[in-house]
Structure 1
């Protein structure tokens, strides 16, 4: 990220229409990514969000305070050029999905996982056309090849910007199905986050909260919610 860190040199920040999309202008000059790609985003809402992030910079540009800009950078500089690889990598989560690997004991955790995750697998079978199986223990669960291919096809239907957001939703949660539930608004995003933390929540209830683990979880939750917002910005009305 240090490659594009700089002192604030501009006075006016503006979101504007551009060829093939929308951009952000700093004193009339279009922003570029760290790889010098012109910043062209799919919606005015995203351009306005990025413009607000640039406008909030006071002295030195701080990329960590600009999550929408970072998401756009990832979409343009990485995902666009490695789309097939990223899509395939995310689709592979279907073969090892968090929701499919269940505890062998104790009974309370087994029941909680079933109550939390079985409805999501049922939803995926109906809404996505992909039925994944589950099993207790850590042994590999062999999934139906047709179901995995269907999930792969659905991932590939996304745009590079959508895929950049989806990458974080799936990677942070550890679940392709939870990622789809998030982008399809199957459940509130906060509830989806909680469903990705069933095991951790149960452990904390038994043994108490570990401060370091709680801090890391809070950071992941923030990034998870940011990824959902980025996806929503991809879907916003093209006219703003």
Structure 2
């Protein structure tokens, strides 16, 4: 027996003001999250994006085509309930940041990593006073407590919607610093994503692209770009 799927039942999706922000109504009925909480978002722009996603649905509802709605649901149903845990988890990335773990050889890859990643580490130091030190090899080496404290405070200070976007920026790239760089428009978002893939690009140049790996990378890039869009909508 095929699984039942919800179908469009409304004629109009519209943005309305709500306590604490903005919501979306479908023919006057407020949209709720999967956990049956009121879907209230911080900006009209985000609510408008959600309304457009609902308006674009025809026939069966496809959550896969509603990324802003999904991220807003995650902020309300998940991150809001465990904000401190999520912030702490993301802060831990700074202690093992992708940008700090460098190849020992060959020299060409060592140089490429330094040229790609050193400017980001320098920027984090200038902007936030958080100097992360690169090391050679894959063995974990703790960063300075001062730098980690700075990073942790930034994560814990984010609101639920910002932290939701930041979670994906950091988790997808493997780098707290790249997440911060995307948040502060240090470089164009797609360029930052490419900087997170220096090692993969090196392997592709050596051995040629792998079809499955290429598909996974494309999906992750799309999710990274969406996370930045969601972050912008939250502000």
Equivalent residue, structure 2, for 1:167: 167
> Hey, what's the Cα distance between the residues in 1 that align with 2:21 and 2:43?
7
The separation in 1 between residues aligned to 2:34 and 2:131, in whole angstroms, is 41
CA contact (8 A) 1:169 1:179 kept: yes
Give unpaired runs (5+ residues) of structure 2. Answer: none
Q: 1:150, 1:118 → 2: CA distance?
A: 19
Q: For residue 109 of structure 2, what is the aligned residue in structure 1?
A: 109
C-alpha separation in 2, matches of 1:60 and 1:102? 48
Distance in 2 between residues matched to 1:163 and 1:190, nearest whole Å: 20
Compute the displacement of 1:5 (Å). Answer: 5.5
Could you state the TM-score of these two structures normalised by the residue count of structure 1? 0.95
Please give the secondary structure, in 1, of the residue aligned with 2:24: strand
CA distance in 2 between partners of 1:108 and 1:43 (Å)? 46
Matched, 1:130 2:159: no
Q: Deviations over 1:13-56 (max 9, x none)?
A: 10111111000010011100000010100000000000000001
Unaligned ranges ≥5, structure 1: 236-240
Contact 1:100 1:141 survives alignment (8 Å): no
Task: Work out whether residues 134 and 141 of structure 1, in 8 Å CA contact, stay in contact via their aligned partners in 2.
Answer: no
TM-score normalised by length of structure 2: 0.97
Structure 1: which 4+ aligned runs deviate by more than 6 Å? Answer: none
The 5 A counterparts of 1:190-209 are: 190-209=190-209
- When the two chains are superposed, the root-mean-square deviation of aligned CA atoms in Å is 1.2
Distance 1:214 1:85 in 2: 32
